[in-house]
Structure 1
Amino acid sequence: MMSRTLDGRLSIRFFNGKELILRNLVTGLFLIISIFILFLISLNLGTIDTGLHDFWRLVRGEEIEQQSYFALWDVRLPRLALAFLIGWCVAVSGAILQPIARNPLADPGLFGISHGSLTTTILLLAFVPAASRVLIAFASLAGGLGTAILLIVLVGNRHAGGLVILLMGIAVATVLASVNSFLILYLPTEASYNASSWMAGSLFQANWLSVTAFIPLFLFSLVAMLMAGHSLNRYDLGSELALALGEPVIVSRPLLLLFAVLLSAASVTIVGPLAFLGILAPQLAQFLTGANGSGRLYLSGLVGANLVIGADIISKNATTISMPLGLTTTILGVPLFIVVLRLRTLRQYFHK
């Protein structure tokens, strides 16, 4: 049935006591429609003249030209699916870390998680150039997890506030970034070039194997995000208040960090780091709806998917050569971030 929250927003209340904010639902539907529109646009763009018409014939099981089949099934569709999954995972990772640190600028890069994944991956590519994708994935995950464990050990005290966690993450990230720069500078030329290209971020090697590997993680995140919502709401109040409200900080904080690491490291493995996405997507979701908890996680994931698919469209078609996805995401994201900050300032000014 329809009701209102304490701050006056319309919501749908279920019999089990759960409620769904109507504004969050409408925004989520709008973001899904936006993804669908971007999907149709991207499907029709490319050097081979094929698109929605051939896709519809493919869905119906009809024969299409071999060239069109290759462009749609082997290139464009897995690239779009992977763009959605990568955008979702990186954005959700940032949305988890920001309440823990109580800082809107917290993301996998600022905590050193992305840098840890990069370090182990660069080392593997340097010493085992022919490493398989599975081995690279394990190396990336090990680096991210190792960084998270190191961060948990260094923070130590369960009463440590978000500022302590953030500053410790910045220190770890700075050291790892220096290590990565040293490796790229002194590696052999070919290995250094491959590492630099990978660090720029790209969906060039997207295929159905990568998408299939990501789907279980995506499904797991849907359930885990629903369970993590209440904990993140308490972390928004600070570690001490979260403890006072019964949050088992010593257990939940490492679990949330590991969840964020899993999402971030998997993304880094496939496309490399996407700078700024983990900051921007949660901030856009927060600006659009003011949602918190699980709602903010789901909306952040949808915003992240929109941004990566949109950035991929630009990277493929803005210039004669394909731009790195990480660069395009930053070029697209920074102006949006500035606009959001400006609109938020104006909103606060007029509400006074």
Structure 2
Amino acid sequence: MKTNPERQPAGESKLVHTGKSVLLFGILAAVSAFVLILAMFLAVSFGAKELTLGTVWTAVFRYDASLTTHQIIHGLRLPRVLAAALVGAAFAVAGALMQGVTRNPLADPGILGVNAGAMLIVAVSFAFYPNLPYSALIVLAFSGAVLSTIVIFLLASNGPGMLTPMRLTVAGAVVAALLHSLTTGIAIYFDLSQDLAYWYAGGVAGVKWFQIKLLAPVILVTIIWALALGRPVSLMALGDEVAANLGVKTKRIRLLAMAAALLLAGTAVSAVGPIGFIGLVIPHIARKLVGTDYRFIIPISALLGAVLLVIADLAARTIDPPKELAIGVMVALVGVPFFLYLARSQRRGT
């Protein structure tokens, strides 16, 4: 029996998909996955020493430790490419969740100050506990992201009126500026400028296999968690009242979605630094491609975010070899104009 969208409650009908829309999503997901795999092979192949795709394939699936090229691929390039894909997916999904539950098109882990909170804790860790294990650093970075987010929401909620997207953005910008200043002060006082310069710019060059083993389970499990929240987040994006009328426990879903976004952002920042704009740009592109249903937006965002960061890392390594540009700069070249466009559109809408 076919479902008649006209008999569905308002909002619920927006989540009813035809076979054509599901097929389109499947095609987009398959194409995105293919582009990601191709981009990863190209990223492993190109660098200070160019390698053929055949050599990369052999090194990945038939590794020979006696060959120098295989050592380069397995020890240096493969971990950084995998890290770029994981972190790109993490930032993109975190941004998608934040935009969904806050109904703020400008929401992003960087813009809302989440990255700044994680970075402050990283700076404190470098200053007082320089030999801290990486697993502990992830936990601390996540804690910093949580604390900064709580402060931002309290500031945005204080005073008359509702928690609006603009108030949330302004509060995030203010808190981010304060936390960045504190981080800079700590870096100068404890002579950490060089150590933190890499983190500020963002990069995956120093990622090792043991970090991948910690990153991959956390990020992949949290993305699966985010996928499970796709339907209620889609309804919340239509408004809390609509979602509540359809049986969504809005406070609980917002808490779970923000926790997932914070875990993704905190983990990613602890690995590669505060790379901004991925969580801003990619969810908007995903919405243009698949519509407003977060059951589709989240997986497409994960794939496109991974593609963007892998390509950005490849460009950073190959534009001016043997020097490497900061990967955060490459992403910002795309993200800053897009942010200005969104801000202008938001102002016109207001």
TM (normalized to structure 2)?
0.84
1:322 to 324, 333, 339: 324
What residue in structure 2 maps to residue 121 of structure 1? 122
Moved more, 57-66 or 293-302: 57-66
> Per chain length, whose mean CA-contact separation is higher, i.e. which structure has more relative contact order (CA < 8 Å, sep 6+)?
2
What residue in structure 2 maps to residue 177 of structure 1? 177
CA RMSD, 1 decimal: 3.2
1:12 to 3, 13, 19: 19
Structure 1 contact 225–298 (Cα < 8 Å) conserved: no
Taking a change above 3 Å as real, the CA distance of residues 337 and 111 of structure 1, as seen in their structure-2 partners, is closer
Give the residue type in structure 1 aligned to 2:44: L
How far off its partner does 1:241 sit? Answer: 2.2
Taking a change above 3 Å as real, the CA distance of residues 180 and 10 of structure 1, as seen in their structure-2 partners, is closer
Moved more, 110-119 or 147-156: 147-156
Distance 1:52 1:64 in 2: 18
Give the residue type in structure 1 aligned to 2:83: L
How far off its partner does 1:336 sit? Answer: 6.9
What residue in structure 2 maps to residue 297 of structure 1? 298
3-state SS of 2:105 partner: coil
What residue in structure 1 maps to residue 8 of structure 2? none
Query: Where in structure 2 are the equivalents of 1:128-147 lying within 5 Å?
Result: 128-147=129-148
What residue in structure 2 maps to residue 312 of structure 1? 313
Give the residue type in structure 1 aligned to 2:19: I
How far off its partner does 1:209 sit? Answer: 1.2
Residue 213 of structure 1 pairs with residue 214 of structure 2: yes
Query: Where in structure 2 are the equivalents of 1:232-251 lying within 5 Å?
Result: 232-251=233-252
How far off its partner does 1:81 sit? Answer: 0.9
What residue in structure 1 maps to residue 84 of structure 2? 83
Structure 1 contact 43–51 (Cα < 8 Å) conserved: no
Taking a change above 3 Å as real, the CA distance of residues 340 and 286 of structure 1, as seen in their structure-2 partners, is farther
Give the residue type in structure 2 aligned to 1:236: A
How far off its partner does 1:341 sit? Answer: 11
Taking a change above 3 Å as real, the CA distance of residues 51 and 213 of structure 1, as seen in their structure-2 partners, is farther
Taking a change above 3 Å as real, the CA distance of residues 278 and 147 of structure 1, as seen in their structure-2 partners, is same
Give ranges in structure 1 of 5+ residues lacking alignment.
14-19, 345-352
Query: Where in structure 2 are the equivalents of 1:271-286 lying within 5 Å?
Result: 271-286=272-287
How far off its partner does 1:285 sit? Answer: 0.9
Taking a change above 3 Å as real, the CA distance of residues 188 and 220 of structure 1, as seen in their structure-2 partners, is same
Moved more, 204-213 or 219-228: 219-228
Deviations 1:320-348 (A, max 9, x none): 31111111111244567789999x9xxxx
Aligned residues: 334
Moved more, 114-123 or 130-139: 130-139
Distance 2:317 2:60 in 1: 25
Residue 27 of structure 1 pairs with residue 34 of structure 2: no
What residue in structure 2 maps to residue 103 of structure 1? 104
Distance 1:337 1:25 in 2: 29
Distance 1:294 1:33 in 2: 20
3-state SS of 1:190 partner: coil
Query: Where in structure 2 are the equivalents of 1:265-276 lying within 5 Å?
Result: 265-276=266-277
What residue in structure 1 maps to residue 9 of structure 2? none
Moved more, 303-312 or 175-184: 175-184
How far off its partner does 1:38 sit? Answer: 1.0
Residue 191 of structure 1 pairs with residue 192 of structure 2: yes
3-state SS of 1:68 partner: helix
Distance 2:92 2:297 in 1: 10
